[in-house]
Chains A and B, each alone.
Chain A
Amino acid sequence: MKKCMYVILCFFIATGCGIRTQLDELTLVLTVGLDEGKDGNLLVYSISPVFNKESKNIYEVIRTVGMTPRNGRSKANAFASGKIVGGKAQNIIVSKTFAKNHDMFSYLDVFFRDPKNSTTANFIVFDGPLKDLMYVRLDDKPRLSVAIRDVILTAHANKQTTKINMLDFRRSSLDRAQTPFAPILKVHKGDLVAGGIALFNRQRKYVGSLSQKESPYFAILKKNVKPATSLTFQTKELTKQKEYVSISIEHGDFSYKPSFRNGAFHFDVHMKLGVIVTELTTYIDMKKEKKKVEKWLAKEIQKQLESIVKKMQKYEVDPVGFGLYARAYEYKLFQKQKSWPKAFAKAKINIHPTVEIISYGVLQ
């Protein structure tokens, strides 16, 4: 018995067993960029770290032209210093023009089909031609891929944009009850700026965007207020002066009630927001006027929320996922709709926020 085992063991060692994917021999693609090239071809950029201390750059950018991302990657193998693998991809970036003209989903298939690829990479839309981003020189930041990821994550935490990973993107793409969205990245004066949200329609094509200012409200609609969503309002209505008040939303209770009346969906959205006043450039007597301020804030927030809902309805997209509620509570009627985004465009959405000021800091 023992001899048998030795023979097997020797055999294993002799054959060398399987093909390893040894770290040293790999080119780790951390960022993949897809852009439209000439003649309808696909431009595939990939950024990977270079560990060699003698090389000047700490990362390399490879640009190839191909029919699909996988095809582009195969071609890129000819340039790279090691076998290209996507297991640690952090960002998948597409340019806005590319996103406008193509169904994103079919191009992203490779990231889901091959189980070795990472599904937690961030999906990002870049405003402008991708080469601006790929060859940007960031002297004060380490690796471009890490920098991109960090910019998106920070901006997301501050609600200046959103974030969506590949898995979530796939989920919202396939689900009939919602449509995908993605954060927008820009290069502004040689620096990375993340802000705003790209909206995709049912066909996974880019149709429009929410601005950086609208992003916090989008986060509120997605019930994503933690940690601290900051908003700033002009107090013109309240104090007749062009002063500002900043609040930060600490927590919120949300309820989405769908109903179906007169051939259209109705959504009653109630939200109770607990806020902290973080900045007041004018004097308001908080003790006395707390109720008044709360009401005014609620109205301001409602105005903003309604405007972005309008915008989404105009584009016929439902990134917030109103459809999920419609499906969960009005299943039969939801199933009857041929296309949820179209039904959503017709839906009536009433948003009733109430604001409660939890504290206004250490000053009166």
Chain B
Amino acid sequence: MKRYQFNEITTMQYIFLISGTQVGIGILSLPTQLADLANTDGWISIIIGWIISIIASTIIIKTMEKHEQDTIFDLSRRYFGRIFGAFIHIAFVAYASLASTTVIFTAIHIIQVWVLPNTPNYLIMMLFMLPGFLITRNGARVLGRYAEFVFYLTLWMPVLIAVPLQKGTILHMLPMLKEGWAPIIQSVKTTVLSFLGFELAFVFYPFLKEKKHAVKAMVIANSISAFTFLLITITCFIFFSPDEIPSLIWPTLSLLKTIEFSFIERFEVIFLSFYLFVMSTTGIPYIFTTVFGISQLIGKKDHTIILLVVVCIFIFTSFLYTPPFSHIQMMGSWWERYGLWGAYFFPIGLFIYTSIARWFQGGKKK
């Protein structure tokens, strides 16, 4: 029996959905975070982070495989009983809502700083909520299609980022492993967190049409993200001098500022406006997870009303509260702390727990 027959997503959509969730706001500041810890060797830790995230996402898929039609919400109830299951359910919803709040407020902040300096918070929030509502309302299928479309639409962006490469020098990157492996290992924590987003496989896996490709899809999704992270980080390291990067908050945008063509200048304005597409593929799946989780919790099939309530809450919050940059950073660090548990430790624990539980159940049957 298939529970989500009319909401199935193809393998491609699944890949783009996951990698779209991974590539988002973090990428704009990632080079600085890495340079802070590991100087210009930070890119090596991206590769390590990539491997770790592939392992973690494989574990998630292996856990989900045991009950193909279950989302994490069903799974938690199945294995942990009603009360404890509901607790995990709520925790996951809370995590998703924290992630979506962080993404949205960061996006608003960046837009305010770089593109629309005088536009009030709540107007941008309302603006963002329009497509957010339209796309989330239609469920996983439209979400998948959207992620797919955005992927094609944003293919030109990495090419553009590579343009300043010719102005930089590889000398900035040399020597490799200048401080040894210790700082690289330290910064793995940062890169591991920039891969956050694959944990949504917990929610989207049951919607996947061809389940046998799930692991492959996760590897490809993580690789797309890893490639993007690497491209941007290396470009920034080559373009900026190692002493300069830590002083920039959003090195990727500072980098784009220098791109000039004979017909257009100041590419960061255009890039950032277009980057909203990329940010939307991060924010919308989290909003969807939140809304979907809540509707499952209270046993409603249609999530439109809850979505409407959530959207209203977002807009209302933005009227009352304009987060300063320090709050946004704080939200980000919360998300990361929470995400480390939610996306790395929790799946491992869950996998072991479900395996043991099944083993016991199997033993009983025999």
Q: Is the CB of B260 within 8 A of A120?
A: yes
Interface residues of A in 1-43 (CB under 8 A from B): 5, 8, 11-12, 15, 17-19, 21
- Chain B residue numbers with a CB within 8 Å of A87 are 266
Residue of A nearest to B179 (CB): A331
Q: Is the CB of A115 within 8 A of B171?
A: no
- Chain B residue numbers with a CB within 8 Å of A204 are none
Judge whether B178 is part of the interface by a CB distance below 8 angstroms.
Answer: yes
Q: What is the CB-to-nearest-CB distance from A232 to chain B, in angstroms, rounded to a whole number?
A: 30
- Chain A residue numbers with a CB within 8 Å of B117 are 116
Judge whether A44 is part of the interface by a CB distance below 8 angstroms.
Answer: no
Q: Is the CB of B265 within 8 A of A120?
A: yes
In the docked arrangement, what's the CA distance between A178 and B120, Å?
A: 42
Q: What is the CB-to-nearest-CB distance from A163 to chain B, in angstroms, rounded to a whole number?
A: 13
- Chain A residue numbers with a CB within 8 Å of B260 are 120
Residue of A nearest to B167 (CB): A168
Residue of A nearest to B239 (CB): A171
In the docked arrangement, what's the CA distance between A33 and B192, Å?
A: 47
Residue of B nearest to A114 (CB): B117
Q: Is the CB of A120 within 8 A of B258?
A: yes
Q: Is the CB of B123 within 8 A of A17?
A: yes
- Chain A residue numbers with a CB within 8 Å of B268 are 115
Judge whether B119 is part of the interface by a CB distance below 8 angstroms.
Answer: yes
Judge whether A325 is part of the interface by a CB distance below 8 angstroms.
Answer: yes
Interface residues of B in 89-145 (CB under 8 A from A): 113-114, 116-120, 123, 126, 130
Judge whether B175 is part of the interface by a CB distance below 8 angstroms.
Answer: yes
- Chain B residue numbers with a CB within 8 Å of A165 are 258
Residue of B nearest to A119 (CB): B257
Q: Is the CB of B257 within 8 A of A167?
A: yes
Interface residues of B in 157-179 (CB under 8 A from A): 169, 171-172, 174-175, 178
In the docked arrangement, what's the CA distance between A292 and B123, Å?
A: 75
Q: Is the CB of B266 within 8 A of A325?
A: no
In the docked arrangement, what's the CA distance between A115 and B241, Å?
A: 19
A-contact 0/1 string along B228-246, CB 8 Å cutoff: 0000000000001111100
Q: Is the CB of B130 within 8 A of A115?
A: no
Q: Is the CB of A15 within 8 A of B171?
A: no
Total count of chain B residues near the partner, CB < 8 A = 30
Q: Is the CB of A325 within 8 A of B244?
A: no
In the docked arrangement, what's the CA distance between A325 and B174, Å?
A: 9
Judge whether B247 is part of the interface by a CB distance below 8 angstroms.
Answer: yes
Q: What is the CB-to-nearest-CB distance from A176 to chain B, in angstroms, rounded to a whole number?
A: 5
Q: Is the CB of A18 within 8 A of B116?
A: yes
Per a CB cutoff under 8 Å, which of A5, A17, A174, A327 touches B244? A174
Q: Is the CB of A120 within 8 A of B123?
A: no
Q: Is the CB of A18 within 8 A of B258?
A: no
Per a CB cutoff under 8 Å, which of B175, B243, B247, B257 touches A328? B175
In the docked arrangement, what's the CA distance between A321 and B171, Å?
A: 10
Q: Is the CB of B258 within 8 A of A119?
A: yes
Q: Is the CB of B257 within 8 A of A18?
A: no
Q: Is the CB of B114 within 8 A of A115?
A: yes
Q: What is the CB-to-nearest-CB distance from B249 to chain A, in angstroms, rounded to a whole number?
A: 10
Q: Is the CB of A120 within 8 A of B116?
A: no
Residue of A nearest to B250 (CB): A115
- Chain B residue numbers with a CB within 8 Å of A5 are 130
In the docked arrangement, what's the CA distance between A149 and B266, Å?
A: 18
Per a CB cutoff under 8 Å, which of A11, A17, A325 touches B119? A17
- Chain B residue numbers with a CB within 8 Å of A172 are 241
Judge whether A170 is part of the interface by a CB distance below 8 angstroms.
Answer: yes
Per a CB cutoff under 8 Å, which of B119, B171, B178 touches A18? B119
- Chain A residue numbers with a CB within 8 Å of B169 are 324
In the docked arrangement, what's the CA distance between A327 and B171, Å?
A: 8
Residue of B nearest to A223 (CB): B169
Interface residues of A in 163-189 (CB under 8 A from B): 165, 167, 170-172, 174-178
B-contact 0/1 string along A142-174, CB 8 Å cutoff: 000000000000000000000001010011101
Per a CB cutoff under 8 Å, which of B130, B174, B244, B265 touches A170? B244
- Chain A residue numbers with a CB within 8 Å of B7 are none
Q: Is the CB of B123 within 8 A of A175?
A: no
Judge whether A46 is part of the interface by a CB distance below 8 angstroms.
Answer: no
Judge whether A79 is part of the interface by a CB distance below 8 angstroms.
Answer: no
Q: What is the CB-to-nearest-CB distance from A134 to chain B, in angstroms, rounded to a whole number?
A: 25
Q: Is the CB of A18 within 8 A of B123?
A: yes
In the docked arrangement, what's the CA distance between A171 and B175, Å?
A: 19
Judge whether A118 is part of the interface by a CB distance below 8 angstroms.
Answer: yes
Q: Is the CB of A118 within 8 A of B266?
A: yes
In the docked arrangement, what's the CA distance between A312 and B232, Å?
A: 35
In the docked arrangement, what's the CA distance between A176 and B126, Å?
A: 46
- Chain B residue numbers with a CB within 8 Å of A244 are none
Judge whether B254 is part of the interface by a CB distance below 8 angstroms.
Answer: yes
Q: What is the CB-to-nearest-CB distance from A279 to chain B, in angstroms, rounded to a whole number?
A: 32
Q: Is the CB of A8 within 8 A of B172?
A: no
In the docked arrangement, what's the CA distance between A165 and B119, Å?
A: 30
- Chain B residue numbers with a CB within 8 Å of A8 are 126, 130
Residue of B nearest to A167 (CB): B258
Q: Is the CB of A324 within 8 A of B171?
A: yes
- Chain B residue numbers with a CB within 8 Å of A177 are 241, 243
Q: What is the CB-to-nearest-CB distance from B222 to chain A, in angstroms, rounded to a whole number?
A: 31
Q: What is the CB-to-nearest-CB distance from B181 to chain A, in angstroms, rounded to a whole number?
A: 15
In the docked arrangement, what's the CA distance between A244 and B193, Å?
A: 65
Judge whether B226 is part of the interface by a CB distance below 8 angstroms.
Answer: no
- Chain B residue numbers with a CB within 8 Å of A107 are none
Residue of A nearest to B126 (CB): A8
- Chain A residue numbers with a CB within 8 Å of B217 are none
Judge whether B44 is part of the interface by a CB distance below 8 angstroms.
Answer: no
Q: Is the CB of B171 within 8 A of A331?
A: no
Judge whether A329 is part of the interface by a CB distance below 8 angstroms.
Answer: yes
- With A120-B260, A324-B172, A328-B175 already in contact, the answer to whether A171 and B240 are too (CB < 8 A) is yes
Q: What is the CB-to-nearest-CB distance from A3 to chain B, in angstroms, rounded to a whole number?
A: 13
Residue of A nearest to B246 (CB): A174
- With A12-B123, A324-B169 already in contact, the answer to whether A175 and B266 are too (CB < 8 A) is no
Closest 5 CB pairs of A and B: A18-B119, A328-B174, A19-B118, A175-B241, A324-B171
Q: Interface residues, chain A, CB within 8 Å of chain B?
A: 5, 8, 11-12, 15, 17-19, 21, 87, 115-116, 118-120, 165, 167, 170-172, 174-178, 321, 324-325, 327-329, 331
Known: A12-B126, A165-B258, A170-B244. 20 other contacts (CB 8 A): A5-B130, A18-B118, A18-B119, A19-B118, A116-B117, A167-B258, A171-B240, A171-B241, A171-B244, A172-B241, A174-B243, A175-B241, A175-B242, A175-B243, A175-B244, A176-B243, A177-B241, A178-B241, A324-B172, A331-B175
In the assembled complex, 5 residue pairs joining A and B whose CB atoms fall closer than 8 Å, in A order, are A8-B130, A12-B126, A118-B257, A118-B266, A171-B241
